[in-house]
Amino acid sequence: MDEHNIDPMEAILPFHKAPGNYSEGLLTVKSNLYGLRLPETKPKIYRYYIEIKIATAELTEGSPSEASSNIGEDSRHSGENGNGNGHGSNESGEENGNGNTTNGVTHDSNGSSDAESPKEVRISGLINLTKARIRGDASVIYRRACFRKVWNEMLARNGEVFPGDKHRYYFDLEQTVYALDALNFIDSERTVGKRIIMETGPNFFPEAVKVDVTLKRAGHVVLGKYDPGVNLDLTAINNEMMQFLEIVTSQAALFNPDEHIVFAAGKSYLLAPEHYTFTKQDIVDLPEGTYVGLGSHKSVRYVEGPRGRMYNNAAVLVESKKTPFHSPQSLADKAYLLGIVDDECRPKRQYDSKHFNKCLAALQQVSCRSLCSQCLVQWKQKWQRHDGEEQFVSVLEYYRDYKQVELQFPHSPLVLIKIGAFKTARTLHFPMEMLIVVDNQRVTTEKQSNELISKLIRACAIPPSKMAEQIGKHVKALQLSDPISPFLQQAQISVISRPLTVNARLLAHPTILYEHDMAQQVNNRGSWDVKVNTHFIIPASCNSWAVTYITDGSGQHFFNNQMNTLRELTNQMSTLANSRGMKLAAPLDIRQIPNTFEALDGRFKVLKQHNVEFAFFVTYERVKNMHDNMKLLECQYEIVTQDLNSKTMDNVVGKRQRLTLENVLMKTNMKLGGLNHSIRIDRQEFQQLLNPRTLYIGFGMNHPAGGMLSLPTTAPELEEAAKKRAAEEKKTEEQKKYLKKPIGPPPPPPSVVGLAANDGVHPFEFTGDYVYQPARRDEKVAILSRSRDESRPLLQDVVETIITRFQKNRKFLPEKIVIYRNGCSEGQFANVLVYEVPLIKAAMKNMGCNDTKLTFIVPNKLHSMRLYPAEIDPNAVKAPEQNIKPGFVVDTGVVHPTMDEFYLCSHTTLQGTAKVPRYTVIFTDDKDLTADHVQEMTYALAYGHQIVRSPTSIPSPVYIAGHYAERGRKVVNAFMSTDTTYNEIHEYYRGHIQRTNNVDRYAAWKQDISEEQQAKINLFNSKITLHNHETLRRRRINA
């Protein structure tokens, strides 16, 4: 920012506004917040850092230096009890496939040995458990079990260090310890650490020699002193007390392993839900060898509390969770349930290691790396017999002759498992039936099939009445009340037994306007009806459009059966379009194509040749892979598209679902440049909020799961790559031989920033687009230079472009700019204030908006707060009848003491319990903007989405921006998977780097690539490109 002469701002939040006053009705709502009563004496709590190591060799006198090694792949375990001997692939024939055990250990042991000074002893062969990098849920649970055993043993043996009740010491089973009393380090007050060395025994890590624990002083916290954690200056915030409260309220779950499985971030799951009166109906079996785990997400939050503004209170937030877990079973059974093998464990399809890894690679404790195309009978290896002779035996023969195990599935594929690294790297071959899927492994999102997701959604859709009941059960399970945990009792912390209740105010519903200001009133569910022959406010017209049916290859006979349905659909669309004021001619033709990219590309070429302006696609319901490709080709051929599922078409034509047809046509009108409706607030005190001179901008983020090719294209990039290469050259040749990744610039996964703004001629005409940027952990909108104008950072350029379009269409500059920024956590507020707001202000200044007021609001749906009516009609069965209705706002009690935030429900919850979005005003220089103004404006903007006659969960600018971010991600993914030029560059580049490891030679090769190739590199190499096609930019809805 210095090179652009833009000064960063201070990370200071605006003062918390007084709560809103306007109300058309009140509703008492219950939350899932339970207040914490802290001791009035404000005691000092001591914090320590703990490091745990396991010694594999004897103690020796001498140097204080320690030879340590981290846990690597060998720390994983196969099977519930650790068995899993494999058939090694080394030529020596030695048996090298032993799996590590879970070390089922108990808490009693004999003897101990403490060393007073850490400089007097030396232990060789240390394994540092605290600093070890591990992967996978089961590994995390196993390490926690080890830490729990060490901690309990250490407390029992070292009473002089840990005097008094053992519940006065709190360990998060990672690296942080809190104590109500300072630990007795004996030596002196200047001693900063304590080293405790414990002897092992038959019941305490029998496989080790010693357990080495180091405790170091790390500070303290005053319990009950809120000031460090509730500061308007974000750089001065200290969350030490919140961290302590998080740990102390987690102790009951952490130290009851028979009842709870605990993961990071306060997530825990019940091992015996029936102990807390959960029923079999609450525990649902899922397909593909998975089941639903019942658990909770607990966190601590600072809130105002029942006394309102100017008061600080701590509260524990408990949310009920249901998560899919892998069932513990043999890998053969798992593969069968996933449809990979048949009942004889033979592969159902042609050998496909990639498909196998896609389904099972997430099972870290199985450590599946790939699948061997040979089965147990075919794959043979040299093996040394007991008599010293060598012979080639198959895996089947090895298990039968050497392990005395008769395998049931001799034709099953072998699973390859790699262990170790560099010189010790080995590949083991296991039969599927000898591997066990370890329990306590969650099913990651990318491994969840459509069937599993569908059943999981139904299982998680808990209405408010039942949600409140389940949260109460989890509060008991966590020992937050009735009975309260002894850890909390010792800290003199109590939990209020009833959740916090507050009053929600009903805001004014906006009025929906159609052509000639024909008004439609919104009902209490947020929806509205439209009379027959009511015209859109801006009806579109289209004289050249075509229909394409994408089949699954079922043939011409199938398409002929669908032709009548397609014609009836287009007839109904034309009839309804005319009644809404649109001019929609009959389609030029109706054709079918197979579900291949080549066929789709060919269809677009034909449509382009005939100057078709709108391509309407109907995709057979079983075809899942064409939508992204369609949107990529839409950009390349500049033809607006709309995609409809064949099942939806059948509902419209066969079941006469008129409302569904209305939604289809509303989307069509928007895509063709029309506008369906406008919004008006009838209350006089709020009418200025939707002033045509106000510019609303929404930003949404989409972060990737995978990477994309990134080539150095500028001198600085090449220089940086050369530095990385020089660093790599320092590695030994032996290490280079075993590097898993090719040397070269790493492929940073790009993020997509979606944006939307009402910069059209009409005040509610939202246009949108998406831009690309390098993925960043801090989630900032990138401060990069645009390729077309190196003088302006990205964010500044985007805002200036929007203001320019606003001024061109409205003939004046905006008087107010309101920005809704999604994809930003509370921890990132400081970055937004320091970097993004100054760039936006600089853009405003460059465009002459010197007197324009700016307001910056962050919506957040990814929180754990639940709000629902305190009294629910016992006769109400459906979720919409039990949940909070649209228009209710909460800005007292459950909100942060200093942050200017509120909870606003703007949508109808169709299933489950509503997750009401939280809004935080992190910047405003508009002194006239009250809490009522911000809340009413936010609620009214939720009615601007246009394609359905109901509001969205967040305001339209940021809702649409989020969908554009998703669209940008799909376009990039489709480009990477289909563009031949990109893939040629990718493969050539990777191969070149692996062969030469020479940036200079790569730079010379780069000069020889074509302009087309260079354009593609620049387009998708984290550079920013706005669409130049005006019609495509007017696609307000991502569909």
DSSP secondary structure, 908-942, as one string = ---SS-----EEEEEEE--TT--HHHHHHHHHHHT
Mean pLDDT of 951-960: 96
pLDDT confidence band for 776 (50 / 70 / 90): low
Tell me which of 120-124, 192-196, 765-769, 954-958 is least confident: 120-124
By CB atoms closer than 10 A (0-12, 13-18, 19+), residue 1015 is exposed
Token reading at 599: 């066929």
Point out the least confidently predicted range of 221-225, 437-441, 693-697. 437-441
Q: Which pLDDT value is given to residue 611? A: 94
For residue range 243-280, list pLDDT tens digits in order: 999 999 999 999 999 999 999 889 999 999 999 999 88
Q: Which residues contact 217 (CB under 8 A, 6 or more apart)?
A: 46, 47, 48, 192, 193
pLDDT band at 412 (very low <50, low <70, confident <90, very high): confident
Q: Which DSSP symbol is given to 735?
A: H
In terms of Cα–Cα distance, which of 408, 438, 419, 393 is closest to 341? 408
Which residue in the block uniquely carries the two structure tokens 């809490």?
931
Q: Is the confidence at residue 641, as pLDDT, over 70? A: yes
Question: Across 822-929, where does the E strand assignment appear?
Answer: 853-860, 867-869, 888-890, 900-905, 918-924
Compute φ and ψ for 428, nearest 5 degrees. Answer: -105, 145
Mean pLDDT over the full length of the chain: 81
Q: Look at residue 960 in the predicted model and tell me its pLDDT.
A: 94
Is residue 361's pLDDT more than 60?
Answer: no
The partner residues of 985 in beta bridges, in order of sequence, read none
Give the model's confidence band at 400: pLDDT under 50 very low, under 70 low, under 90 confident, else very high: confident
Lookup: tokens for 742: 């090719």
Identity of the highest mean pLDDT range in 358-372, 638-652, 962-976: 638-652
| Range scoring the smallest mean pLDDT among 130-139, 203-212, 374-383 | 374-383
Q: Using only C-alpha atoms, what is the Rg of the chain?
A: 32
- The mean pLDDT value for 920-948 works out to 96
Q: Is the pLDDT of residue 1000 over 50?
A: no
What is residue 775's predicted lDDT score, i.e. its pLDDT?
63
pLDDT > 60? residue 13: yes
Please check the confidence at residue 586 and state whether its pLDDT lies above 80.
Answer: yes
- For residues 330 and 932, which has the higher predicted lDDT (pLDDT)? 932
Range name among 119-128, 132-141, 662-671 with the lowest pLDDT average: 119-128
Closest C-alpha to 1, from 856, 837, 924: 837
H or E element, residue 561: helix 556-579
pLDDT above 90 coverage of the chain, percent: 53
The winner for highest mean pLDDT among 521-525, 816-820, 836-840, 964-968 is 816-820
Sorting pLDDT into bands at 50, 70 and 90, what band is 994? very low
Judged by average pLDDT, the poorest of 72-86, 108-122, 371-385, 700-714 is 72-86
**DSSP strand E in 738-800: where?**
750-757, 767-774
Say what percent of the chain tops pLDDT 70.
75
- Output the pLDDT for position 969: 86
d(CA 701, CA 770): 10
Residue 918 has pLDDT above 70, yes or no: yes
Per-residue pLDDT at 106 exceeds 80: no
Rounded Cα–Cα distance for residues 975 and 981 (Å): 10
Q: In the prediction, which pLDDT does 825 show? A: 87
pLDDT score for 617: 97
| pLDDT above 60: residue 784 | no
What does the alpha-carbon distance between residue 843 and residue 855 come to, in Å, rounded to a whole number?
14
In this predicted structure, the answer to whether residue 978 has a pLDDT above a threshold of 90 is no
Span between the terminal Cα atoms of the chain, in Å = 37
Given a cut of 70, whether residue 381 has pLDDT beyond it is no
pLDDT of residue 305: 95
Handedness of CA 317, 322, 326, 329 (dihedral sign): positive
pLDDT value at position 192? Answer: 75
Which of 246, 696, 705, 61 is closest to 447 using CA atoms? 705
What's the pLDDT score for residue 63?
36
- pLDDT for the residue 738: 40
State the pLDDT at residue 761. 92
Instruction: Please state at what angle helix 556-579 crosses helix 646-654, rounded to 10 degrees.
Output: 60
Closest CA to 981 of 1003, 1011, 1026: 1011
Residue 83 pLDDT class (50, 70, 90 cuts):
very low
Q: State the pLDDT confidence band at 208, using cuts at 50, 70 and 90.
A: confident
Name the band, by pLDDT with cuts 50, 70 and 90, for residue 866: very high
* Average pLDDT, integer, range 607-635: 92
If pLDDT is split at 50, 70 and 90, which confidence band does 674 have? Answer: very high
Q: What is the pLDDT of residue 403?
A: 80
Cα(348)–Cα(992) distance, integer angstroms: 37
Please give the residue that has the higher pLDDT: either 419 or 1028.
Answer: 419
What average pLDDT score do residues 437-464 get? 85
What does the alpha-carbon distance between residue 938 and residue 858 come to, in Å, rounded to a whole number? 11
- Across 22-26, 415-419, 423-427, 651-655, least confident range: 423-427
**pLDDT tens string 124-136:** 568 899 998 887 8
Extract the tokens encoding 865. Answer: 């707060």
User: 3-state SS of 130-185?
Assistant: CCCCCCCHHHHHHHHHHHHHHHHHHHHHCCCCCCCCHHHEEECCCCEEEECCCCCC
pLDDT tops 80 at residue 724: no
The mean pLDDT of 179-183, rounded to a whole number, is 94
Report whether 830 contacts 10 (CB < 8 A).
no
| pLDDT of 121 over the 60 cut | no
Under 8 Å between Cβ of 354 and 360: no
- Name the pLDDT band for 613 (thresholds 50, 70, 90): very high
Q: What are the backbone dihedrals phi and psi of residue 853, each rounded to the nearest 5 degrees, phi first?
A: -85, 140
Q: Among the residues of 205-290, which ranges form H helices? A: 240-248, 251-254
Q: Whole-prediction pTM value?
A: 0.85
Higher pLDDT, 528 or 133: 528
Q: Say what the pLDDT of residue 557 is.
A: 61
CA torsion 684→686→687→688, rounded to 10°?
130
Q: pLDDT class for 152, splitting at 50, 70, 90?
A: very high
The amino acid that residue 40 corresponds to is E
Q: Which pLDDT belongs to residue 265?
A: 85
Q: Which value, to the nearest 10 degrees, does the dihedral of the CA atoms of residues 331, 337, 341, 344 take? A: 80
CB neighbours of residue 426 within 10 Å: 15
For residues 645 and 635, the answer to whether their CB atoms sit within 8 Å is no
In this predicted structure, what is the pLDDT of residue 278? 93
What integer pLDDT is reported at residue 75 of this predicted model? 33
Residue 275, phi then psi, degrees to nearest 5:
-65, -20
Between the CA of residue 576 and those of 107, 347, 416, 485, 536, what are the distances in Å? 74, 51, 59, 64, 11
Instruction: Give the side-chain half-sphere CA count within 13 A for 394.
Output: 17
